[in-house]
Structure 1
Amino acid sequence: MICSPFVTRSTAPLKPLATLVTMFLCLTNILIAIRVNHAGVDENSSIFTKEEFAISQRQLRHTIDEHSNLSNTIQTPPFTPQESFGACALVLNQNHRLTEWIAYHYFALPLRTLVIAYDPKSTQRATDLLHRWKDVIDIIEWEEDDYLPANWTEVVKRQNPSDKPIERLIHEHRQVYFMQQCTLTLAAKNVSRVIHHDVDEYLRINTDIVKGYDTTRPGHISYFLNHQNTSKIRWLPNASCWLFVRLYFIPWNTATAERDRQNRDDSSWIRSFPLETLNYRYRKTRAQQTGKGIIHLSHLPTTVLANRENIFEKWMSVHNPLGRPLCQGPWPVATSPLLLNHYLGSYEAYKFAAQWDPRFRNDSEWERRLGRGKGEPVADESMTNWVDAFVKWQSEDVARVLLSDAGWRQNEP
């Protein structure tokens, strides 16, 4: 192998990042050769231990991160963090979804503040993938101790008798208490709006009724909400909270979907990324009846957020964050200006999640989720244009890095 970083198929020198990667790989080969020669082992035998290989991967990631200046090249939307959206996400081993979810909402909302909390059963941390966004998104990572007091589960058991399994009951309370503390944190940062939905759900404009709106513009959802007062049609009432229904996307007609995917004009490198928003284009006809919400923090009465010293006072809920009359909606799909795309994902990802999430019990539960909702699946490509727009906005090189580990891979740990 020729290790000079200047030997390429053309006479032009490699880009600095490619040069660094090449040099790193060459040095690795040299070290392997030294170890082989010194140890007198066969070249086909295992040279590095699993731990050493993991260290080498981390070193490469660190080298790329330190020298690529990615943070200086990520394009920022024309909204300050305070004018933009914040998000609260409680996750359980969902790194394979976070990359795509963050990229989309950074582009569409835009998302500029994010609080991530890890379920205590999590074996993954998202710190590495979050790091690439550090200069354009204000990101806070919480463990359970960061937003809940000691022995809180005992309080839940005493205060909330229920027929539900205790593990499920604790999960539901944890989710609500996280929503509460996260909302208070974002309010203290003067963030304009906050979304409370999961990382398999994507907020979008309903282009079937908001016709002709440019959804390829970075921050187009904020543009829409900011300018609805000046438009001829007022889509949403003045309210502290809006609820929107979810459209349920499932794996369906995979042969046709694969053929359609291959025939699309997407760049070949994008096709190779297992993005849920591109690869799952069939949804159930009927929307899910339970919605998720946007809280408009600047419209909230001060009394709603102030003087809440008792963390076990449940004043929010998952599907109606502030309750009525503060929350308006959800509206039927035919009249709702915003919707949520909810992605079931692949069977393999479901089985991966089943190791920790008691809701994903067995294949019967998978079949139930696959059949959730009424009506035959219908094709829906209403938000698939975001990827091309994101690549064009960020440049291909930057988009490749930002989306590099998006989607489910068969080799997930």
Structure 2
Amino acid sequence: MGLKIWRRCFAVASIVLVLPMMLRSIWMVVDHESDLLLQALDRRAAAPYHHPKASLPESMPESAVCLMIMDDNHFLVEWVAYHYHVWNLRSLVVLNDEKSINSPREVLDRWKGLIDIVYWEDKDFGFVPGEIYTLNHGPLARTGLKLRVYQERQALFYGKCVRYLYEHAPAADWAMLIDTDEFVALPETKANTDEVNPLFYEPGGLARHFESLAKTKESKGVCLKLHRREYGSIESSPADVQRRVPPGWNGTDFFTTRWRYVSSHKRRRLAGKSIVLLNHTKWSLDDYPTVTHTLGHEYKEGCLVQNDFRVYQYTGSKEQFLSKTQDTRSSTYRVQQFELRKGNETDSTVVDHSRDWLSGFVALMGPDQAKILLKDAGSTTVWHDVNEEPKNILEWMFGIHPILTWGHVDPPQPEIATAEAIEEAPPQATAPAEPTSETTTPPPSPPMKTEVTPDPFEMERSQEHPKHAVFYNVFVSPTEKDITIPSGIVLEQLQQIGESYAASAGGLHVYYNTVGNSILLEGSVADSIKAKCNELGLTCVHLAHYREGFEELTLQKVHEFCTAYPDRQVIYLHNKGSYTQEIKRDRWRRHMTRAVTDKLCLDHMDECTTCGLLFQPIFTFFFPGNFFISQCSYVSRLIAPNEFEAKSDVMLTSRPKELMGVIYPETKVTRGEKRWAMEHWIGSHPSMVPCHLSTHPSILQWMKSDTGLQFQFMNAAKLPLISRWLKNDVSKMRGILNDPASRKREAGLLGGLLWKWHSFYQEIPPEDSWIWNYFPDGKEWHQLIEAHPNVSEALQVAWQEGPPSQQWLKMVKASG
């Protein structure tokens, strides 16, 4: 009896002690979330580099969308703003139908710097009209030819787009497969309220809500299927339409405030739409089709039904619905469809819960910017510029001009010239045109303007100088009309350099190449650069201007400098974000610039060969973003950048088939092909000893705020190999590291690295290198190389000792 009483007393005491602590923790979480939003809104007013994205809580999940569009600008204006606000839409892949009369670019260009938008054509995802794909079965086989071609094109686009987002949109948590007339919101059961709904009013409200619910189901499937409902065209009273609409705005301009009646699902049953979880651990990059058909959007692995959200499809007015004059379906069919979809009050339900997004959006962006972004919402006005050349599908990630990525372009050799005498390219011989009354003289081709400073390193031999020199690659798109933001980035980086520890001793030399826009050579921007350098006491030397090119141009100068002055140090950086502006990229660039000019890196260069913000040891040795400071004695040992890509191609072509990249899927980025070879260059030698200032393995941590984490100098090997690196599947990586046969065949581990170093330099790491201790099986590989100095032979011996395991074969098959 005494024991029972003691137990009860203990239980009561535990509740009394623990319960207040639990309630306090819950309150702190809720209170912290509110504080985040309030602090973010305060920062918006005070931030020196104002950007609406700075107003969002730092832990916000992000959405991506694969979007096909044809003459839908009347939907698009509101659609983008809505999903940007409530779903935190930050990555968008757009396929505009070639038959479109109006172009979405005027609408989407307003969002430059806010959303990463890339444009595709049919060729970008391998669609050829007239070909019969493996998708040609089931419902597709029973449709008309034109409609079937459209549906096959859509299915193929979705599959390729999701694959692209998985590989190249590191911050996106999921991809929505929806159309411009479809808005993702809450189900009808949570539809109506007389109070402001915070899930719609607050930035990213639905994104955070979805993330919390998706985590409970994502372990069973890679995607979630949402039921779809349809808004008809039943008009409401002006008071209902205008309810909680911000002052000065007209509710009839917006689908989400004008249309309030949802048709009964019994009247028209609609197939669901999918949200693909890009960060799902079971993801595998299989060949297309990953989506079998638009009529259901089913994924191979199967989609779990998510009843906590709905996709609402808006019909709009008759004018809006019939505005697609190039629709593959006949005009008679579309008129019939409108009559079917417009609905009536007897079989419809009022669903009026999403209207608060508009007030929240206007409050977040400010009335002036909101008016710019929401201009012509609901209008069927024709936009032009439909034939404008699309952007490259990877430009958002690397911030480079499309001419540099549609295939390799050999860098032009600069011609020595003076400002007073720059030769124009000779005109090409052409057949004379037949004289007609309409014949006009074509405008002359722009001259190839290249300005080079002869013997730019001359002053290094004749002047006192700091131990380090800066090399800066400046790019501005040749087609950029508004150069305010790109030029602002350059001046901002120069300001950072001039105020940094690297320039504190005075006399810092900054060597820079300019690429692209001729305004960098002569004009206001060129004058501003010179003025800023003089103001900061920097000795800036303009090496050359190229009409086209990329980082190889300036990295080649880095190599030449280090070959001439092996006792010096070089700081390399570029104006990242000049082509695709976004707040994450701005923050990342500022932190990288700060790191490579910081006292912690510069004063510890005797402990390492290369230092930067963050070193990543897998899928190659590199500093994400490609900013670094390095010992010239190390750089001079590297292959010259203008030869590196070719030698990298030879290395990859001759690489044994047993070596495969599975931890990271093999892409041009991870393999170091074409333009991406330069990302692999600085870490390509086995004598590298990397250091960095980041205490966290993911570069995403540096994109969340301008403050960032606190710098801490450390040997890069202190971050465990099994870490949450950028877009790293930790569970897959752990599986490979726990399997000896897999470890010996993974191209990103020591076996693949040994092959790379042998191919590039015929060298292996020195005996006391950190590499042998950091990577698994390091001592075994070192002993094997000592017994078999030929690396190819040593690899064959290792593979013969341990044949491929079933786990490895399964992973290789899954990786495609």
- TM-score of the two chains, using structure 1 as the length reference: 0.69
Larger Rg: 2
Q: For 1:198, what is the secondary structure of its paired residue? A: coil
From 199, 224, 245, the counterpart of 1:266:
245
Structure 2: distance between partners of 1:319 and 1:79: 36
Q: State how far apart, in whole Å, the 2-side matches of 1:185 and 1:81 are.
A: 24
Equivalence for 1:120: 98
Give the Cα separation in 2 of the matches to 1:194 and 1:117.
15
Instruction: Identify if the C-alpha distance between structure 1 residues 177 and 300 changes in structure 2 by more than 3 Å, giving closer, same or farther.
Output: farther
- Per the TM alignment, residue 354 of structure 1 is displaced from its structure 2 partner at its CA by 4.0
Where structure 2 has 5 or more consecutive residues not aligned to the other structure, the ranges are 1-48, 385-816
Q: Is the 8 A contact 2:94 2:120 kept in 1?
A: yes
Find the counterpart in structure 2 of residue 223 from structure 1: 208
Task: Write the mapping of 1:13-412 to structure 2, written as runs, cut at 5 A.
Answer: 72-76=50-54, 78=56, 83-149=61-127, 151-156=128-133, 162-189=141-168, 190=170, 191-206=172-187, 208=189, 214-215=198-199, 216-228=201-213, 238-252=220-234, 254=235, 256-261=236-241, 264-271=243-250, 274-286=253-265, 288-299=269-280, 301-303=282-284, 305-306=285-286, 308=287, 311=288, 313=289, 315-323=291-299, 325-329=301-305, 336-358=307-329, 360=331, 361-371=333-343, 376-409=347-380
Cα displacement string for residues 175-226 of structure 1 (whole angstroms, at most 9, x for unaligned residues): 0011011101100123210000111111113383599973121111221133
Cα distance in 2 between the residues matched to 1:236 and 1:77? 29
Aligned-partner residue type, residue 154 of structure 1: E
Q: Which amino acid aligns with 1:271?
A: N
Please say if residues 196 and 293 of structure 1, whose CA atoms lie closer than 8 Å, have aligned partners that are also in contact.
Answer: yes
Shift of 1:269: 3.1
Local SS of the residue matching 2:372: helix
Give the partner amino acid of 1:292. K
Describe the superposition over 1:75-118 as per-residue Cα deviations: whole angstroms up to 9, x where unpaired: 45637899411100101111111110000000011100000101
Q: Which amino acid aligns with 2:92?
A: L
Residue identity opposite 1:240 in structure 2: V
Q: Is the Cα–Cα contact under 8 Å of residues 206 and 337 in structure 1 kept in the other structure? A: yes
Question: 8 Å contact 1:75–1:394 — kept in the other structure?
Answer: no
* CA gap 1:290/1:156 in 2 versus in 1, 3 angstroms: same
Task: Point out 4+ residue stretches in structure 1 off by more than 6 angstroms.
Answer: 79-82, 210-213, 410-413
How many pairs are equivalent?
A: 325
Q: CA deviation at 1:267?
A: 3.5
Distance 1:300 1:99, change over 3 A: farther
Deviations 1:252-305 (A, max 9, x none): 1x2x4335335x3523532166111111111113274421011001115243x2
- Going from structure 1 to structure 2, the CA distance change for 1:110 and 1:163 (only over 3 Å counts) comes to same
Whether contact under 8 Å (1:74, 1:398) holds in the other structure is: no
8 Å Cα contact 1:81-1:113 kept in structure 2: no
Q: Measured at CA, do residues 359 and 214 of structure 1 come closer, stay the same or move farther in structure 2, by a change above 3 Å?
A: farther
Report if aligned partners of 2:104, 2:383 keep a CA contact under 8 Å in 1.
Answer: no
Deviates more, 1:161-170 or 1:352-361: 352-361
Paired AA for residue 318 in structure 1: T
Displacement of 1:325? 4.8
Distance 1:396 1:145 in 2: 40
Say if 1:322 and 1:283 are closer, same or farther in 2 by CA, change over 3 A. closer
Alpha-carbon distance in 2 for matches of 1:251, 1:272: 15
Is the CA contact 2:74–2:376 (under 8 Å) kept in the aligned structure 1? yes
Paired residue secondary structure (1:353):
coil
- Structure 1 counterpart SS, 2:113: coil
Q: Secondary structure at the match of 2:123?
A: helix
Q: CA 1:82–1:297 in 2, change beyond 3 Å: closer, same or farther?
A: farther
Cα distance 1:389–1:302, how it changes in 2: closer, same or farther (>3 A)? closer
The letter of the residue matching 2:302 is L
Q: Mark the CA change 1:272 to 1:261 in structure 2 (over 3 Å): closer, same or farther.
A: closer
Q: Deviations over 1:22-64 (max 9, x none)?
A: xxxxxxxxxxxxxxxxxxxxxxxxxxxxxxxxxxxxxxxxxxx
The unaligned stretches of length 5 or more in structure 1 are: 1-70, 331-335
Query: CA RMSD of the aligned region, Å?
Result: 3.3
Q: Pick 1 or 2: higher relative contact order, CA cutoff 8 A, min separation 6.
A: 1
